[in-house]
Amino acid sequence: MADADQSYVDEPGKRVPVAYEADVVVAGAGIAGTIAAIAAGRHGAKTIIVDRFGQIGGNMGPGMFAGGSLHFALKNQSDADDTELLNRTGMGSIADEFHRRVIFGRPNADRITPEVRRQLEQTHHNVSGYTMGSGGGSPGYLVDSQISSAVALEMMDEAGVETLMSVYVSDPIMVGHRVCGLFVETISGRWALRSKIVIDATGQADVAMRAGAPVLQQMVPNMGLWYSLGGVDWDRYEQFCSENEQANEDDLAWARRTLPGARSEADPAAGDNHLLPLIRKAWEANEFKYKRQVGTGIIHIAIRRITDGMAGGRTGTAGEIDVADAKIYSQMEREHRGHIYQWARFLRKYVPGFEDSYILVVAPFLGSRGGRYMDGVHTASREDMETERQFDDVLYEYNDRRSQKNCDVPYRTLVPQRIDGLLACGRSSVPYGPNFRMRSNMLMNGQAAGIAASLCVNENVEPRDLDVRKLQKILVDLDCPVAEDERLVGLGLK
Ligand SMILES: Cc1cc2nc3c(=O)[nH]c(=O)nc-3n(C[C@H](O)[C@H](O)[C@H](O)COP(=O)(O)OP(=O)(O)OC[C@H]3O[C@@H](n4cnc5c(N)ncnc54)[C@H](O)[C@@H]3O)c2cc1C
């Protein structure tokens, strides 16, 4: 008989084959999940990692944004002039090793002198030019993203981690309030992966939400899609920019009236004012909308020189967008890709220097800096940062480079309320602002979560009952930057 409520369909119960039994299953092979899986594997846990893509690394792999805060993450790293110490502690252990191996995996690695190699391996001190990526305008982002995926795979193989690619994590297997594994969707149908501990590293707390753990959401997610163009004559473009620096008042007034979300009166095209006459022409010919309102958000785009003949950058969003709504996310994927194609067509038709340009690559992964995250036993917050809060179960110190304030990121941020058998790491466990989600933090976060999961398995305890001192002791022994020496002594860790 048909159900009276036509808005639901009952899913019939069915038997699902158990494809794997493991100690630890990691959902999501992004930045944090990859390091978590390697850490769990190295600490003796039989580990499986699952990703919906065929390429590992999340935002740093198929997302093509490798680098970012990793510039500052090397131990004893100074700025280019060796005048300011940017980072004293490094990230420790697997995170540092991963970073170094990406640098050694570059095509030009054979040119690294033995002395530089020694510095990178031992002290990491101010090895200028040997940071990962170096901003959206560098080829480093693109090149390192591909190497990151390869290095991650290699390190997972060495740690005995089973990788399940092109497999989508669906519901957790629940026994009461305990997560006992995951259902996954594969080309062979639905499978069950049974495990003692699941780590949610999906970047959006998918598993925590489906398990019924409390989650929170930020509504200004600041999404971005990477692209690059070939066949660009950047010198010719720069020449054009320098000859058109001053936008005329009429075009500026048009931009203020027409472009949604203009950042300032003086700069309505956000750095592209020199293009305004061309942007306006294409807009009025209905060929290209430089900035577009899509639903509740605004899509924009930027371009920089990458290397000889190559330019690129990323799209961005302003405004509120509900990225936990699948229909909206899908719409955003479509619109960001469309925006890049139209932008590339516009540049080729209208802008000097781009006459022979073409799209080289668009990342397969539209990333979102903010969105859904777990409301754990503790949830990191701006207030933690502003009050420089400390916790006895500190995993690492978050350093806010803008405010120069520090606060602890404690173990309890990885532990869900109410639900057992589950840890979250990476962006699934922290909010977007302030910058808890910076890559260097995500690597340290994943590292701690993987070791914690293996400890829970070894000691047969739930994550909430783990003796955190044991975890901290391992991290300290691995040279991870848990806290200042003085505090370590106070915590009985030194
Ligand atoms: C556009 C953009 C620019 C950024 N720029 C910087 C920067 O310059 N510096 C910086 O430090 N940080 C930057 N960040 C932030 C940083 O990239 C993120 O905080 C980081 O990627 C979070 O790591 P993660 O491992 O938690 O998530 P992700 O890297 O997003 O990885 C999540 C993984 O989970 C997988 N996944 C998700 N759901 C499922 C599922 N159901 N089944 C299977 N797999 C699943 C995904 O495929 C992905 O591989 C940027 C982020 C974005 C979006």
- Give me the number of domains the chain comprises: 2
Task: Name the residue at shortest CA distance from atom 44 of ligand 1.
Answer: 51
> 276 and 352 share a domain?
yes
Q: What is the mean pLDDT of residues 436-441?
A: 89
201 and 230 in a single domain? The answer is no
| 332 and 264 both lie in a single domain | yes
Q: Say yes or no to pLDDT of 318 above 80.
A: yes
**Ligand 1 atom nearest to CA at 168:** 42
Distances, alpha carbon 181 to alpha carbons 116, 211, 215, 229, 265, in Å = 44, 11, 20, 43, 54
pLDDT tens per residue across span 57-79: 999 999 998 876 666 666 666 66
User: Which residue has its alpha carbon closest to ligand 1 atom 17?
Assistant: 59
- 58-62, 148-152, 304-308, 336-340: least confidently modelled range: 304-308
Quick check: 479 and 93 in contact, CB under 8 A?
yes
pLDDT for 375-426, tens place per residue?
999 999 999 999 999 999 999 998 887 788 889 999 999 999 999 999 999 9
Residues 6 or more apart whose CB falls under 8 angstroms from that of 396 comprise 91, 408, 409, 441, 444, 445, 448, 475, 480, 481, 482
165 in any annotated domain: yes
- Tokens, residue 250: 């009429």
Write the residue with the smallest CA distance to atom 37 of ligand 1.
202
Task: Give residue 351's Cα distance to chain centre.
Answer: 33
pLDDT given for residue 400 in this prediction: 83
Whether residue 320 is found in the same domain as residue 208: no
pLDDT of the residue at 233: 97
334 shares its domain with 435: no
Out of 321, 337, 368, a domain closes at 368
Percent of the chain with pLDDT over 90: 73
Rg (the chain; Cα; Å) = 24
DSSP state of 249: H
Q: Are residues 260 and 378 in the same domain?
A: no
3-state SS assignment for residue 175: strand
Residues with CB under 6 A from ligand 1: 28-33, 50-53, 58-59, 65, 68-69, 168-169, 201-203, 206, 224, 314, 367-369, 426-428, 437-439, 442
| pLDDT at site 121 | 77
Q: Tell which atom from ligand 1 comes closest to the C-alpha of 368.
A: 53
pLDDT of residue 465: 98
- Residue 334 CB neighbours (<10 A): 12
> Which residue lies with its CA nearest to atom 6 of ligand 1?
68
Q: Ligand 1 centroid to 204 CA: how many Å?
A: 9
Tokens of 33: 């999940």
The rounded Å distance from CA 70 to ligand 1 centre is 14
In this structure, the residue with its CA closest to atom 27 of ligand 1 is 203
For residues 199 and 227, what is the distance between their CA atoms, to the nearest angstrom?
Answer: 31
Protein residue with its CA nearest to atom 40 in ligand 1:
169
Cα 180 to ligand 1 centroid, rounded to whole Å: 25
CA distances (Å), origin 415, targets 213, 418, 419, 444: 10, 9, 8, 16
Q: Token pair of 125, please? A: 């001190």
Q: What's the pLDDT at 250?
A: 94
Q: Whose CA is nearest to atom 31 of ligand 1?
A: 30
- pLDDT at site 1: 47
Q: What is the pLDDT of residue 119?
A: 77
Distance of CA 186 from the midpoint of ligand 1 (Å): 22
Tell me, what CATH number does 376's domain have? 3.50.50.60
Whether residue 425 sits in one domain with residue 336: no
- Pair type for strands 223-224 and 226-230: unpaired
Contact in structure between 166 and 52 (CB atoms under 8 Å): yes
Residue 447 counted as domain residue: yes
- Please check whether residue 273 is in contact with residue 265, taking contact to mean a CB–CB distance below 8 angstroms: no
Name the average pLDDT for the chain: 91
Distance 302 CA to ligand 1 centre (A): 20
Q: Identify whether 10 is part of a domain.
A: no
How many other C-beta atoms can be found within 10 angstroms of the C-beta atom of residue 5? 7
Is 381 inside any structural domain? yes
Residue 488 lies in a domain: yes
pLDDT (average), residues 70-97: 69
DSSP, collapsed to helix, strand or coil, labels residue 44 as coil
- Write down which residue in 310, 344, 368 finishes a domain: 368
What domain range includes position 247?
Answer: 223-368
Cα 27 to averaged position of ligand 1 atoms, centre (Å): 13
Q: Is 376 a member of any domain?
A: yes
Instruction: Tell me the CA–centroid distance for residue 348 and ligand 1, in Å.
Output: 31
Contact 321, 432 (CB under 8 A): no
Q: What is the pLDDT of residue 83?
A: 62
pLDDT beyond 50 at 113 = yes
Q: Are residues 346 and 229 both part of a single domain?
A: yes
Is the four-CA dihedral 99, 105, 108, 111 of positive or negative sign? positive
Residue 2 has pLDDT above 60, yes or no: no
| Token pair belonging to 360 | 């080289």
CA 419 to ligand 1 center in whole angstroms: 24
* Nearest Cα residue to atom 49 of ligand 1: 58
Residue 353 sits in the same domain as residue 421: no
Inform me whether the pLDDT recorded for 264 exceeds 80. Answer: no
Q: Please give the pLDDT value at position 111.
A: 85
Q: State the DSSP string of 392-456.
A: TTEEEEEEETTTTEEEEEEGGGGSPSS-BSEEE-GGGGS-STTGGG-HHHHHHHHHHHHHHHHHH
pLDDT band, very low/low/confident/very high, at 82 (cuts 50, 70, 90): low
pLDDT at 3 over 60: no
d(CA 434, CA 454): 30
Q: Is residue 11 part of a domain?
A: no
Q: Which residue has the tokens 């600490």?
A: 43
| pLDDT score recorded for residue 404 | 83
Residue 352 φ then ψ, to 5°: -55, 135
- Measured in Å, residue 202 CA sits from the centre of ligand 1 at 8
Higher-scoring residue by pLDDT: 357, 68: 357
CB atoms within 10 A of CB 76: 16
pLDDT at res. 72: 62
**pLDDT at position 332:** 97
Residue whose CA is closest, atom 1 of ligand 1? 224
Q: Which of 153, 202, 209, 429 gets mutated to test ligand 1 (max ligand atoms within 8 A of its CB)?
A: 202
Q: Across-strand partners of 185?
A: 168, 190
Q: Tell which atom from ligand 1 comes closest to the C-alpha of 56.
A: 49
* Domain match, 329 and 423 both: no
Q: How far is the CA of 74 from the centre of ligand 1 (A)?
A: 21
Q: Does residue 125 have a pLDDT over 60?
A: no
Contact 165, 34 (CB under 8 A): no
Tokens 């001190």 — which residue? 125
Q: Which of 353, 368, 383 is the last residue of a domain?
A: 368
Task: Please state the rounded mean pLDDT for residues 447-469.
Answer: 98
- At residue 310, the 3 state secondary structure works out as strand
Mutate-to-test residue for ligand 1 from 35, 49, 60, 65, highest number of ligand atoms within 8 A of CB: 65
Same domain, 203 and 297: no
Q: What is the pTM of this model?
A: 0.95
Q: How confident is the model at residue 193 (pLDDT cuts 50, 70, 90)?
A: very high
> Please, what is the Cα angle at 216 between 214 and 219, to 5 degrees?
160
The residue assigned the tokens 């058109």 is 244
Asked if residue 3 belongs to a domain, the reply is: no
Of 82-91, 297-306, 416-425, which range is least confident?
82-91
Is residue 90 within 8 A of residue 440, CB to CB? The reply is: no
Ligand 1 atom with the smallest distance to the CA of 53 is: 47
Neighbouring residues of 259: CB distance < 8 A, sequence distance ≥ 6:
268, 269, 290, 291
Distance of alpha carbon 461 from alpha carbon 187, whole angstroms? 34
* pLDDT for 106: 85
Beta-strand runs (E) in 201-323: 215-217, 223-224, 226-230, 292-294, 297-301, 304-307, 310-319
Distance 442 CA to ligand 1 centre (A): 9
Atom of ligand 1 nearest to the CA of 62: 49
304, 392: one domain: no
